[in-house]
Amino acid sequence: MSTPEKHEKTESRSCEETVAQAQAPIEHGALKVTAPKDSAAGVEAVFSTVKHAQREMGLISGLSLLSKLNQKDGFSCPGCAWPDPKERSSIAEYCENGAKAVAEEATRKALDAEFFRQHSVEELAAWSDFRIGKSGRLTQPMIKKSGSSHYESLTWEQAFDVIATHLRRLDSPDEAAFYTSGRTSNEAAFLYQLFVRMLGTNNLPDCSNLCHESSGAALTETLGIGKGSVTLEDFERAELILVVGQNPGTNHPRMLSALEKAKRNGCHIVSINPLPEAGLKRFKNPQRLSGYLGGGTQLADMHLPVKINGDVPLLKGVLKCLLAGHEQGPEAWINEAFIEDRTEGYEAFVADLKQESFDLCVEESGITLEQMEELAALIGRSQRIICCWAMGLTQHKNAVSNIQLLVNLLLLKGSIGIPGGGTCPVRGHSNVQGDRTMGIWEIPQPAFMEKLKQRFAFEPPMRTGYNTVQAIKAMHAGKVRFFMSMGGNLVSAGPDTEYTAAAIRQVDLTVCVSTKLNRAHLVTGREALILPCLVRSERDVQEGGVQFVSLENSMSIVQSSEGRADPISDDLLSESAIVAGIAERTLSPNGGVDWLHLVGDYDRIRDHIEATIPGFDRYNERVRQPDGFTLPNCNREGRFDTDTGKAKFTVHAIESMGLAADEYLMMTIRSHDQYNTTIYGMDDRYRGVYNDRRVVFMNKGDVQRAGLTSGEAVDIVNRHGGQERVAVSFLVVPYPIPPQCIATYFPEANVLVPIDSTARKSHTPTSKSVVVTLRPSTVTP
């Protein structure tokens, strides 16, 4: 890469400079533990929504803004990617946690230069994540210069110049990495990847690398597309829905309405998860009178409390039972015609199942043979089957195997590509799927690269870039010297917190495009920029007038989103405008693209998307339709775009964790009062935990065997690779979870997730399979 001035490498920070702490301080509230709730939503969710709206936005303004949330003439939720129904409630087309997400971003508390003059980075890093997040909205660009203890303000032009100078000094464009969170719009994501590739690298790690990358890898290999196949209407037609490794009541609450409709239509619902979750027991729909006065709708007919990472033995046991029932019973429990005509690998799959031991399946899953037979009978009698899953399946060493066994189940039944049946990976961030569609991927796809080449007259790089874990390792090794994050909080969201923080501190410049203060602004490179952007609920005015953006939800529907509120500051830019400003200053001469002209009217960006990405024909016309449009999906259309044109059965071995008597398998989870790394409060209402987040959920028998008591403080220790990682002072909470399984909240427990323990094929950190021991804590409440 051409360098107008020679870069001088800085080996380390100055001895005088203080390093901000990467982990939140150890703080305990007055822990209160009650019985877990047996239902989700209802009047408590309504009260919680009103409380958060009033606290952050004011009651009248808050409710007025929320009335536009997920409406056809409004803005899309910045939370999860669950699709909007065609018929939307005029009362409230949002959930409690969606309202929290909007309130959090639309707060009227503002952070300006005076705030940063009063508080050093070291002081802010000593605050809890909750306090940091509640400080207010970022309102102007800020810079922390090398060796400085405080941020100070600068103009946008100055910020763009700082970035351009650093990028031009790199010896290679591969010394830069550009991370993306799942909230980035289609328009901004397309511009972002275009700029990065014109710069000359494919280092485009993103949040999908941390969550559903395993889903994409598993589905693409077996079905020919990395996206789910079902639509919202399929839920109303389904006979059986399996919800595996997922807690929709907290993470995707609007999914409960779809499950309720399915249930009312006679569908059976089965929950498979180590923890029983309130949202899959009963749903008190706040849009129905029964949601306030009655007991709500029972959802799950069966709950199977599988051991953490016991899904492979459970599913193999169920599939063995299904084959046995088909061979022995009078009814056909599998679809032989579909298997013969549309699939391959069936004989090897059956041979593997037949040699598998039921005893091993039972021992490793924690589920009895009788329960496996009961589920197999439900599957055998059903044709229209939907399999839903989330991070409970995707964050294990064998995550791809977990998902491909669900695919095997659906293939046995011929339940893909039919009304009421198919795959449903439930994604956690509002446009994470859309960002991948727009080209945010470290693996360059030849057809897309050729389209970019033809459209923009440049030679795109074809070297595979860094995924998120690889980018962290490259920063740690000094191979990446510039790191930009389009949203997100990688310091807290990434694995192995202290390793990730040490990696980021090696970087010359870190750049965060953000709406609220978070720990990624405090654990930084030698220099750091904060670039504040509009939130989704705010009006986006460019040269061509008020703009809207577009997003793709979990079911491949692309819809528009137009903010309605006045921005909290006149000094905010949209994500697209920020990318354009950086590209215009960095690329010479502008990469042949008039970046500032493009962001004057987002229709111009969408014209380029239409010309380079399949499925976006008449983009600007169709996205203006009230319900948007649905992207093509080969599985939904009855095709399998694999190398052979057939769906593929796969074979997977049972892998025993081999825990010692004093070891536990830990998974990280969310509380009901958080969204990803954003902490809304200190309670987890559905699980009956209040006033504290540093808790460890343990089997009651394990608590007794370990000689522990409820509320006792323990340190959690991981020794993967011979290195000791410690999460200090977690309070014991006895809970209905399988033996030798424990659960903790992230990001507090991310310090225990090893950087070099990742899923095969997808490279996703194994945040749901962390082997740990417990010891009495020296830090007590």
pLDDT on residue 116: 97
* DSSP reduced 3-state for 152: strand
Q: Are 552 and 631 in contact (CB under 8 A)?
A: yes
- pLDDT of 289 reads 75
Rounded CA-CA distance 127/136 in Å is: 14
Q: Using 70 as the pLDDT threshold, list the residues of the chain that sit under it.
A: 1-18
Angle at Cα 211 formed by Cα 349 and Cα 405, nearest 5°? 10
Using alpha carbons, select from 555, 566, 607, 743 the residue that is nearest to residue 665. 743
State how far the Cα of 561 lies from the Cα of 68, in Å rounded to an integer. 10
d(CA 228, CA 249): 20
Q: Is the pTM of this model over 0.85?
A: yes
- In this prediction, residue 489 carries a pLDDT of 96
Which pLDDT value is given to residue 620? Answer: 98
Kind plus residue range of the DSSP H or E element containing 81: none
Contacts of residue 578, defined as CB under 8 A and 6 or more positions apart, other chains included, come to 513, 531, 533
Please state, as a whole number, how many other Cβ atoms lie within 10 Å of the Cβ of residue 328. Answer: 8
Residue with tokens 């987002």: 602
3-state DSSP of 284-312: ECCCCCHHHHCCCEECCCEEECCCCCCHH
Other beta carbons within 10 angstroms of residue 396's beta carbon come to 29
CA geometry: angle at 79 spanning 76 and 85, to 5°? Answer: 50
What one-character DSSP code corresponds to residue 84?
P
